[in-house]
Amino acid sequence: MTSIVTILLSYTPTPIQEIHDKALSTAGVRLLVKREDLNHAYISGNKWWKLKYNLQEAALQKKETLLTFGGAYSNHIFSTAAAAKELGFKSIGIIRGEETWPLNNTLSFAKQCGMHLQYCTRDNYRKKHEPAFIDYLKNELGDFFLIPEGGSNDLAVEGCSELGSLLLDSSECHFDYLCLPVGTGGTMAGLIKSIGDQKKIVGFPVLKGAEFLQQEIENFLPKTKQLKNWSLELSYHFGGYAKTTKPLLAFIAAMETEHALPLDCVYTGKLMWGIWDCVREGKFKRGTTILALHTGGLQDRIK
């Protein structure tokens, strides 16, 4: 099992794409996109990095089953199901809310990969961190290796910290700001940890009422070194997780047509809209280079 994990985790280098646009040139801002969506066909973007050490640990513990949590549009559910299939694990997804037919592309793909989908009421889903609830799941579903919602734990932070080091060491992208979408905070914590005070990091939460993420991210960081080089832009959730609007969808379509940059409406579309808006508002000074992290989530395009 361990050797198979190593094969999966061979890294495919991903390109840097520069976006050329009148709004950017007028503001005197350069925008680069790190295309991490291209690092694996199914376990792509930040999920590759967040799952890397979780998968290795599951193999070392000789676990046969992965269990994790997510909503109906969770990139993490999609990627975990794909990783389990590729490595020969069984997988269970605890899905928030009621089953809805037809299944969307995310859940349909997860099921095709062999993931058992266990639907959970929202009240019970809130107990996902409670030991008693985890024990209940083990009694009901058998032994498993637990990966938390979004894949965010210390193992995920370790993997994402490696991504931060890769970005710093790259000769292709000298940048002042690193921008990324934020769901559970693990990716951002790993990047903060490795990049330190060398660059500024701006997270764009995709959840409504995401002020709590400030503390969640801090909890992942060393207590002895609480860095102040990062911030959260809380105004670009478009109504909440997986919520969207016609203007956002039109913006996503225009980004692909005009710049050959595919985006999703859950994470990266909101990120790029937020960056564009911050540029218009003058939040990035002239001469600034922004590096946007493309975190994947393009499963709607996978047939």
User: Where residue 50 sits, what CATH number does that domain have?
Assistant: 3.40.50.1100
**What order do you get walking across the sheet with 230-232 strand by strand?**
16-19, 30-34, 289-293, 177-182, 200-205, 230-232
Do both 94 and 241 map to the same domain? no
Q: Which of 94, 127, 151 is the last residue of a domain?
A: 151
Going from the C-alpha of 141 to that of each of 65, 91, 279, the distances in angstroms are: 10, 11, 49
Element of type H or E holding 69: strand 65-70
Q: Which of 96, 120, 151 is the last residue of a domain?
A: 151
* pLDDT at position 299: 78
- CA torsion, ordered 207, 213, 217, 219, to nearest 10 deg: -140
Do both 16 and 98 map to the same domain? no
Q: Which of 151, 184, 218 is the last residue of a domain?
A: 151
Residue range(s) defining the domain that contains residue 140? 46-151
C-beta separation of 214 from 192 below 8 A = no
What is the residue-level pLDDT of the chain in tens, covering all 303 positions?
Answer: 545 655 455 678 899 999 999 999 999 999 999 999 999 989 999 999 999 999 999 999 999 999 999 999 888 999 999 999 999 999 999 999 988 889 989 999 999 999 999 999 999 999 999 999 999 999 999 999 999 998 999 999 999 999 999 998 876 778 999 999 999 999 999 999 999 888 999 999 999 999 999 999 999 988 756 678 899 999 999 999 889 999 999 999 999 999 999 999 999 999 999 999 999 999 999 999 999 999 998 876 654
The tokens of 294 are what? 């493309």
Do both 180 and 102 map to the same domain? no
Radius of gyration of the chain (CA): 19
d(CA 24, CA 199): 20
Do both 289 and 243 map to the same domain? yes
Predicted TM-score (pTM) of this structure: 0.91
* pLDDT at position 154: 95
Closest listed residue to residue 78, CA positions, set 50, 101, 53, 102: 50
* pLDDT at position 7: 47
Do both 17 and 73 map to the same domain? no
CA 183, 94, 154 angle in degrees (round to 5)?
Answer: 50
Residues 6+ apart with CB under 8 A from 72: 95, 96, 97, 100, 104, 106, 107, 242
For residue 115, the 8-state DSSP code is: P
Q: In the chain, how many domains are there?
A: 2
Do both 37 and 166 map to the same domain? yes
Do both 170 and 30 map to the same domain? yes
Do both 188 and 80 map to the same domain? no
Do both 120 and 107 map to the same domain? yes
Do both 258 and 173 map to the same domain? yes
Closest listed residue to residue 266, CA positions, set 94, 37, 59: 37
Going from the C-alpha of 288 to that of each of 24, 101, 176, 198, the distances in angstroms are: 10, 47, 6, 14
Do both 111 and 167 map to the same domain? no
Task: Please count the other Cβ atoms lying within 10 Å of the Cβ belonging to residue 286.
Answer: 9
- Beta strand segments in 158-269, E: 177-182, 200-205, 230-232
Do both 294 and 177 map to the same domain? yes
